[in-house]
Amino acid sequence: VSRIARAPRAYLVCVGSELLAGQVNTHQAWLSVRLRRAGFDVAGESSLPDSVSEIKAAMRRALGAADAVIVCGGLGPTFDDLTREAAAAALGRGIRFVPGLWRTIRARFARYHVAVPEQNKRQAEVIEGAEVLANDNGSAPGQRLEFRGADGRARSLILLPGPYAEMAPIFRRVLPRLADRHARGAGAASFTLRLVGVPESVADERLDAVRARFPDASFTILASGGEVSFHATVRAATRAAARKQSAALRAAALKAVGRWCYGEGDATLESTVGLRLKKKRLTLAVAESCTGGLLGGRLTSVPGSSAWFRGGVIAYDNSVKSKLLGVSAALLKKRGAVSQECAEAMARGARKAAGADLGVAITGIAGPDGGTKEKPVGLVHLAVSGPGRALRARRLDIHGPRESVRARAAGAALALLKEAVDDPS
């Protein structure tokens, strides 16, 4: 029996007063996902104001609780960028000015024909013993410190710049080395299944038996916007053993929930739909009423979507449904704009208007006003139309505020579209 190593722990420290003043912290989720995939447990996160004493105290606490501590932010050139000083104080080390680094920073500014402010000299200051992590997208380099804690265990402290475009590439480069250092003598393997069309509770229940069979793995289920993602990480004595177990776990999970699985890893519903349309050489058009463009916005978030997405009509007003999509006034009068019949007519109309193979339509009542007893807020009708394909329609009854109704309607339309593309019968 192979000895399973304890999962290495990571802790996140996010520095910047803006995180306590209304700016959403997206680094936390981004870093957590990648650390987990690399085999780390993420033990906690702290957001701190720009204060040396608080940053220092948080780093010390984090280094006591975790093997690897990732700090984002506070490496800029201004007076309130204090992460370097705090890290040096937390470790009891000095800071030195590195002339070579200062030359690199000046060269960077010269490329953009900008004079270097004298205060940027601070960005050439490096903590004693730190490795400099080059920043190709900004002037603040990252820093990496390796040492042993009082308990003799290996520790890493990684300092990263705050802006996403600078932080992400540096973190991607340093992560494999971080995992190697803290997962020595053991291996990790992981996967993520992306599900749609199943409630979180049902997926959870079906996966219960799978989890019981793999007690050494760690699992997460996340539900968001009508989708569910299931992540598993396996740790074993060797990387090969971890991979083998992960493959067995993945097969068991797919047996339990595979019928709802549309993709793995970083796949999104829109990128999956796009790939399948491209493969089948089909083009798509949208007709959106209550979502007002959200579906088109998601589809065109996929790079290269012009290969399969033609465009469509935002038919918010009924006159637009009639004029641009050919929905008849009689149908609107008899069935109303929020009806299966109208959704079907809109899907056909979008296909025709934009000259596409497939048309997808959304019409519903997003609220807060406009609901009636027969057609309450949250009622949404979807339809997909295509040549050689049966017309598909779906009715949704969504509970929640306006933003949830709209987001879920767009997600459900993508799911219906995927079904129609996969199974033309």
Q: Which of residues 346-365 bind its own copies (CB under 8 A)?
A: 353-355
At position 64, the amino acid (one-letter code) is G
Of 43, 42, 51, the residue nearest 17 (C-alpha): 51
Q: CB-wise, 300 or 340, nearer to its own copies?
A: 300
DSSP 316: -
Cα separation of 66 and 44, whole Å?
9
CA quadruple 224, 229, 234, 240: dihedral sign = negative
Interface positions, 72-111, toward its own copies (CB under 8 A)? none
What x/- string results for residues 283 through 302 when contact with its own copies is judged by CB under 8 A? Answer: ---x-x-xxxxxxxx-xxx-
Considering only residues 167 through 226, tell me which ones interact with its own copies, judged by CB under 8 A: 220, 222, 224
Out of 4, 5, 132, 314, name the contact with its own copies by CB under 8 A. Answer: 314
* HSE value, Cβ hemisphere, 13 Å, CA-based, for 112: 10
Is 315 near its own copies (CB under 8 A)? yes
User: Shortest approach of its own copies to residue 205 CB, angstroms?
Assistant: 13
What letter would DSSP give residue 317?
Answer: S
Binding mask 228-267 for its own copies (x = CB under 8 A): -x-x------------------------------------
Amino acid at 66: A
Q: How far apart are CA 9 and CA 182, in angstroms?
A: 9
Strands 125-127 and 218-224: unpaired
Residues 120-149 that bind its own copies (CB under 8 A): none
Member of 77, 169, 197, 311 binding its own copies (CB under 8 A): 311
Judged by CB under 8 A, the residue of 7, 8, 36, 143 near its own copies is: 36
Helix (H) or strand (E) holding 69: strand 68-72
3-state secondary structure at position 405: helix
The tokens for 315 are: 């038919």
Q: 38, 39, 45, 416: which one contacts its own copies (CB under 8 A)?
A: 45
The least distance separating its own copies from the CB of residue 324, rounded to whole angstroms, comes to: 6
d(CA 290, CA 396): 13
| 11-30: contacts with its own copies (CB under 8 A) | 17-26, 28-29
Q: Of 82-90, 103-111, 205-213, 308-316, which segment contacts its own copies by CB under 8 A?
A: 308-316
For residues 377 to 406, the per-residue mask of contacts with its own copies, x marking binding by CB under 8 A and - elsewhere, is -----------------------xxxx--x
CB of 295 to its own copies, least distance (A): 7
Interacting residue with its own copies among 149, 225, 265, 368 (CB under 8 A): 368
Give the one residue of 86, 309, 346, 405 binding its own copies; rule: CB under 8 A: 309
Q: Phi first, then psi: what are they for 138, rounded to 5°?
A: -175, 180
Q: Are 76 and 123 in contact (CB under 8 A)?
A: yes
Q: Is the separation of the CB atoms in 5 and 186 below 8 Å?
A: yes
Q: Which is nearer to its own copies, 102 or 316 (CB)?
A: 316
Q: What pairs with residue 318 in β-bridges?
A: none
